[in-house]
Structure 1
Amino acid sequence: MTSTSRRSAESPDLSTPASPHGRGVSRGAAFWAAAVFVALLAVPTVIVLVLPDRDSTADRPLPPAPSGSTASASAAASAAAPPPMPSTSSTTGPGRCPATSGAASRTLPTQPPDDVVWTVFHGVAEPASREHGPHRKEGDVNRCHTRTPTGALIAAWQIATRFVLADDWRRVVRLQVMPGPGRDAYVAQRSRVRTDTGRTAGGYGQLAAFAIASYTPDVATVQLVSRFAATGHLQVNTVTVVWSGDDWRLRLQPDGSISPSLQAVTSLAGFVPWGGV
């Protein structure tokens, strides 16, 4: 996709971002560097994660997006609808996901799903579809998506947000990230994260657009564009999810990172605009 190969001359300087303590942090190997759509800074062995104030991070419905955005129609249509994900009281671990009618679909979406409810999770807007999932909410784990391109798209954003920001991130990783060297590396580095609740959610990247780079019923590669409101910058992350058991799971890079590349773009040309804020 040509739009993802262009790097903006105005791309943010990630080489010396400010840490919560006011000191610059070298990018080093760039373990993360905003690839998870939040203010996450990286060096080879240490991650500094800045979270918003606890009072502002409770899950809550979002107002519809501005009328000029592609997402506004779907957000407005579904704003009054009840959330599509029933809570469960299971404490022994999740059961099997329910069968879904769209399990055989391979049609790549050219527009956003029209049955979406947006909620905020630790400052990041997340979509949920009545048709495509997630159909089960179990604590910090949102799971059970359809085996479709749209199901893979929603799962990619949900998991990529929650396996970093969730209070019970270890459970998210255990259930929704594929095992292997990448998961092991991520857990080792995420375990050393230091959080600071003094940052507001306005500094987080939010979903702005997407493209399905490739899809089979077993593996999907999704390009997710995040927009940073403070600067207006757009960044593209390429995320892979794998169908395992009865749901999509995130596949990490061997070093524990989510994306093999982080690219800046100057427009949403070539992508499908979609976002909740």
Structure 2
Amino acid sequence: MSERRGTAGAFGAVLLIAAVGCGGGDDRSGPDLSAAPTGLRWQPFQGVPLPHTDQGPKSEADGAATGFEHSPRGAGVAAITHAVRLAVATDSQWAKVAAQEVVPGAAKDEWAVNRIQLSITGPATPDYAPRVLGYKVTGYTDQRSTIDVHTEYSDSSKAVNHTTVEWFGQDWRLRLPDPGSTARPIESIDVIPDDTVKLEAPK
């Protein structure tokens, strides 16, 4: 398999099994779900610029990024970080990324079985690398948050990836859907919602 096809396949695989978000109510007495992360800067991971903020990640090792603030802002940055890193991590990185960034369980095990059949040895090519535009917290509790991650591709098409992160081991981790789920975690969209927390990675 070529590097380009392998990269595209891995990104597609993680999108197909990304956690499914569900809508949350408008609880005006709760935390501010629309507050933007502070101290935003961008650092590339396998060819994809990812946000680094005051809300996380605090550390990186062996391709995995950990240490996110226990807040909606921390959950939003974690959702972006985990979804992209899981998609584009190389053959020598993905197991460590999954071990530290994904909630353990049958869904994680199934993802690993699918991932081991692919090969990624280098950065994502420009044709397939997503550009992060922002996120929207669609539901939030101290233990679980649903996040819509908005991205753009080289052909100017846009997509929303419905993800879920859970507070596990004192950090936000990605929750993959149960095996056999028929929900669609990623959808094409024409415009980014006005209430999106806009980050917009550099081109």
Fold conserved between structures, TM > 0.5 = yes
Contact 1:146 1:152 in 2 (8 A): yes
Q: Is residue 143 from structure 1 mapped to residue 66 from structure 2 by the alignment?
A: yes
2:128 maps to what in 1?
203
Deviations 1:76-116 (A, max 9, x none): xxxxxxxxxxxxxxxxxxxxxxxxxxxxx822124x32311
Contact 1:140 1:172 in 2 (8 A): yes
Residue 220 of structure 1 aligns to a residue whose secondary structure is: strand
Contact 1:115 1:129 in 2 (8 A): yes
1:162 maps to what in 2?
85
Q: Name the Cα RMSD after superposition.
A: 3.0
Distance 1:255 1:222 in 2: 20
Contact 1:219 1:243 in 2 (8 A): yes
Q: Is residue 33 from structure 1 mapped to residue 12 from structure 2 by the alignment?
A: yes
Contact 2:165 2:172 in 1 (8 A): yes
2:46 maps to what in 1?
122
Unaligned runs of 5+ in 2: 17-29
Structure 1 residue ranges (4+ consecutive) displaced by more than 6 angstroms after TM superposition: none
Residue 203 of structure 1 aligns to a residue whose secondary structure is: coil
Q: How many residues align?
A: 183
Contact 1:184 1:256 in 2 (8 A): no
Contact 2:32 2:72 in 1 (8 A): yes
Alignment of 1:1-277 (within 5 A): 20=2, 33=12, 36=15, 106-110=31-35, 112-130=36-54, 132-167=55-90, 168-195=93-120, 197=122, 200-229=125-154, 231-255=155-179, 260-270=184-194, 271-277=196-202
Residue 69 of structure 2 aligns to a residue whose secondary structure is: coil
Q: 1:191 to 1:144 in 2, by over 3 A?
A: same
Distance 1:162 1:214 in 2: 23
Distance 2:198 2:176 in 1: 25
Contact 1:163 1:170 in 2 (8 A): no
Which of these two proteins has the greater Rg computed from alpha carbons?
1
Deviations 1:161-195 (A, max 9, x none): 21232231101111221111110100000001033
Q: Relative contact order, CA 8 A, sep 6+: which one is greater?
A: 2
Contact 2:37 2:53 in 1 (8 A): yes
Whichever residue aligns with residue 150 of structure 1, its letter is R
Contact 1:123 1:202 in 2 (8 A): no
Distance 1:114 1:198 in 2: 27
Contact 2:57 2:67 in 1 (8 A): yes
Contact 2:47 2:123 in 1 (8 A): no
Higher helix share: 2
Contact 1:212 1:222 in 2 (8 A): yes
Deviations 1:32-64 (A, max 9, x none): 63764xxxxx8xxxxxxxxxxxxxxxxxxxxxx
Contact 2:139 2:146 in 1 (8 A): yes
TM-score by length of 2: 0.78
Residue 110 of structure 2 aligns to a residue whose secondary structure is: helix
Whichever residue aligns with residue 33 of structure 1, its letter is G
